Every structure is written in C-alpha cells, then in structure tokens.
Amino acid sequence: MAHKVFGILNLHSAPELGPLTKSRSIGAASFMGRYAFMDFPLSNFSNSGIDEVGILVKNHLRSVLKHLGSMQSFTLNTKIGRHTIMFNESAHNKEMKNTDLNNLLKNDWVFFESKADYIVIQPTHVVCKIDFVPLINEHVRRGEKVSLIYAKVNNATKTFLTHDLVFLKEDYVRTFKKNQKEQKEAFVSLETYIINRDLFFEILEEIQKVKTNATIEDAIKRFNGKLYKIHAIAHIGYVRSFASLEDYYNFSQEILDYRYAHQVFLKDWPLYTLTRDTTPALYSSKAHVRNSFIANGAYIEGRVENSVIARNVQVLKGAVVKNSIILSDTIVGENTSINYAVVDKYCRLFNSVKIEGEQKAPTYVEQGKKT
C-alpha cells in the first residue's frame, strides 16, 4: 500500500442476530464453522496491506478479546503492524452515550501514534471481499475527500433493511434514505468509507456542536454537499448483510451451494482467523455426510446433511443432523435428531432428543444446553 492508511472496524453499528448475540458481539459470533464475523473485514484490511487497525467495540468485550487473542492472526508485520481494541469504559452501560464517535474520541491517543493520511471504516455484519488498494488509489488520484462503497442489490425489500439506500448523481451521493422496503432494486450503502484523516476529525468536532450522541455516520452524512461530495464506489461481487437469526441461517445454508461458496472462499484472498491446533475431522465407517461444511476437530459417526458443523463437534452413532448449524464443542448424542436448527456451543444433546424447527424459522438451542 503506497498510502498510509488507518483501518477502523466498527462493531457499534452492527444489528443483533437474535439469541445468538445475546451474550456475544456479532463480530465474535461463529460463522461457517471456523470463522467469526470480524474475520472478514479484518482479512480485507490485512489483504489490502492495511496493518494499522483500531477495533471499536461497543459491548461484550470479553467475546471480542477471546477471538482476537494477541491479534497476531491478522497482523502483517508484528513489529510495525498494530491492532488496537478501542472501548469506551465510561459509557459501557449508558446506551445513549455508547456511540462509535464517543468511543473513538475517548481513544484518540491511538491516532496520536499514527501517521496515516487516510481512514477506512468497515462494519462487521457485512460479509464481502473488498480490496482497498485500487479504491484508495482511485480516491487519491481523483482528489476525493470522502468515498462510500455501495452495492447494487435486487432484493432490498428483504435484506439490507438496516442499511441506507443511496441515490447518486453521476459518481457522487446525492442523498441517503432509510430502507423503507419500498423498492427491490436499489443501491445500498455498505457503511464502508474512505475518508481523509484531517477532514475526518474536523467533522467529528463539527457534528458535536449540532447533535449530541451522534454517530460517525451521522457526521459523514451531515456535511455531504457542504464540506465535500461523497464519491460513490460500486462493490461488485458477493455481499450479504446479517441482521437476524434468519439471515444467519439462510446465508449459511446458501454457502453450501458451491456457486456461492467459491465467491466467499477465494483462492487469492485468504481469510485469517484464530487457530486452535485441532486435529483433522474424523469420520467413522458408519458416517453418512452430504452437502456439508465440517470444521477440524469434528468427529462424525452419524448422519449429517445440508449442515455446517463447527470445531470439535461430535455427531454420535445413530444421530441425525439435517439443515442445521452446530456451533463448536457441542455433542449430538446417540440417536438424537436435529432438523432446521441453530445449536449454540457446548451443548450436550443426549437421550435421543428431537429438535425440529422450520425452514423459515429455525429453532435456536442456547449455549450449554443439556438434555
């Protein structure tokens, strides 16, 4: 990367995934058996050569720290690179005050140590590949002050409901509008920005004069057309926004189809994550597995179809897991059957229990459940 860039991963702006995020940040929630959601934006930073990163954490700090560990999983150069957790202690139980902007200002020392000229902001609930290198080069070449990454979608009445729709005039954002589910085809904001550093801090100052407890996005949108014009950059390719347990279930199931899987797992775009020295997955001679993702450490003796099996999960003799997502360290005991369900971590499902959800409303089994 020719330019000095500071990456911000913003965990404040993420919606909840129902019970799955009751006691953990969506950034740390398990995805596809091996990843956490924040692995995707953090890998975008790493693969784009952005080695100075701040992670704005709103709540459930413990789950974020557990996944990030020493953060060397994502750092390109362990001396030069720096991943900093930014957390607003004084506002952690004051919902109104606990904004990304207040968090960032409380932790402004992080920027005193940085020589970056440009800031890149990504949310954690949007899964897509973004190579920032050409985008930042274009931003600089054109002399832009703020750029927004958006995507053209044809199902905006069903997804991206928490996102803004953007309306363009030539290459610039004319206005932002809340998604009112009125149009299927739309340009949606991916809440991903490239912004010049000095301007960024200037507008963070300005917004506080006119609005209390504003967010970073409030500031960026507020001064559009006044101090700058937001340059719009289209994202081409796979992109999904996760805003509910149903989204989580449906988009996981979708990736079982190889046409989608190969857009998520790209050869030239490694996804970095916390690794755990688990053994390869072991299948018994009775195992029957079809159309599923299986993580390392799994032990499969029973039947698994159309499912995602995370690390260290055991599916014992006579057990059947169909159309489900099983999170790590859960044991599906003998003759237990699970269909259309999301089963959280550390469950012990014995005594031939039957867990049956519906395709449109998968059943959720809470962490540590014993039967």
Partner 1 sequence: MNNQIVAMILAGGKGTRLEALTRKIAKPAVSYGGKYRIIDFPLSNCANSGIDRVGVLTQYESVVLDSYIGNGEKWGLNGVRSLTTTLHPRQTEEGLSWYKGTADAIFRNLDFLDSLKPKYVLILSGDHIYQTSYKKMLEQHIARSSDCTISVIEVDPKEASRFGILVTDESGSIVEFQEKPRNPISNLASMGVYIFTYKVLRNALVRDARKADSSHDFGKDIIPMMLKGRKKLHAYVFDGYWKDVGTIASLHEANMELLLNKHPDTVSVIKGKNAIYSEDTHSHPQYIGKKAKVKNSLINQGAIILGEVERCVISNEVVVAEGAIVKNSVLMPGVKIRANAKVDNAIVAPETTISQGEEINLDGEEVILVTNRRKR
Binding residue for partner 1 (CB under 8 A) from 23, 137, 155, 279?
A: 279
Binding pattern for the stretch 223-262 against partner 1, x by CB under 8 A and - elsewhere: -----------------------------------x--x-
Figure out which of the listed residues 56, 294, 320, 338 binds partner 1, where binding follows CB under 8 A: 294
Does residue 47 touch partner 1 according to CB under 8 A? Answer: no
Residues 6 or more apart whose Cβ sits within 8 Å of residue 295: 33, 34, 278, 281, 309, 310, 311, 312, 313, 328
Q: Does 291 bind partner 1 (CB under 8 A)?
A: yes
Interaction residues for partner 1, span 296-315 (CB under 8 A) = 296, 304, 308
Through-space distance between the first and last CA atoms of the chain, rounded to whole angstroms:
53
For partner 1, which residue of 68, 281, 338, 343 counts as binding (CB under 8 A)? 281
Q: Does 276 bind partner 1 (CB under 8 A)?
A: yes
Q: Measure the CA–CA gap between 23 and 63, rounded to whole angstroms.
A: 8
Interacting stretch for partner 1, rule CB under 8 A, among 165-173, 268-276, 324-332, 335-343?
268-276
- Within 5-34, which residues bind partner 1 (CB under 8 A)? 32-34
* CA separation, residue 205 to residues 47, 214, 306 (Å): 32, 11, 51
Binding span for partner 1 by CB under 8 A among 150-158, 179-187, 195-203, 269-277: 269-277
Task: Tell me how crowded residue 5 is: count the other CB atoms within 10 A of its CB.
Answer: 24
Kind plus residue range of the DSSP H or E element containing 148: strand 146-153
What is the C-alpha separation between 93 and 97, in angstroms, rounded?
9
Options 284, 351, 352, 359; binder of partner 1; rule CB under 8 A: 284
- Quote the CA–CA distance of 10 and 181 in Å, as a whole number: 25
Contact, 162 vs 175, CB < 8 A? no
**Site size with partner 1, rule: CB under 8 A:** 33
Least Å distance, CB 325 to partner 1, is 12
The stretch among 107-115, 118-126, 278-286, 319-327 that binds partner 1 (CB under 8 A) is: 278-286
Among 230, 295, 319, 342, binds partner 1 (CB under 8 A): 295
User: DSSP H helical segments within 78-182, as ranges?
Assistant: 100-106, 109-112, 132-141
Two structure tokens written together for 90: 């004084």
Task: Name the site residues for partner 1 (rule: CB under 8 A).
Answer: 32-34, 258, 261, 264-265, 270-273, 275-277, 279-287, 289-296, 304, 308
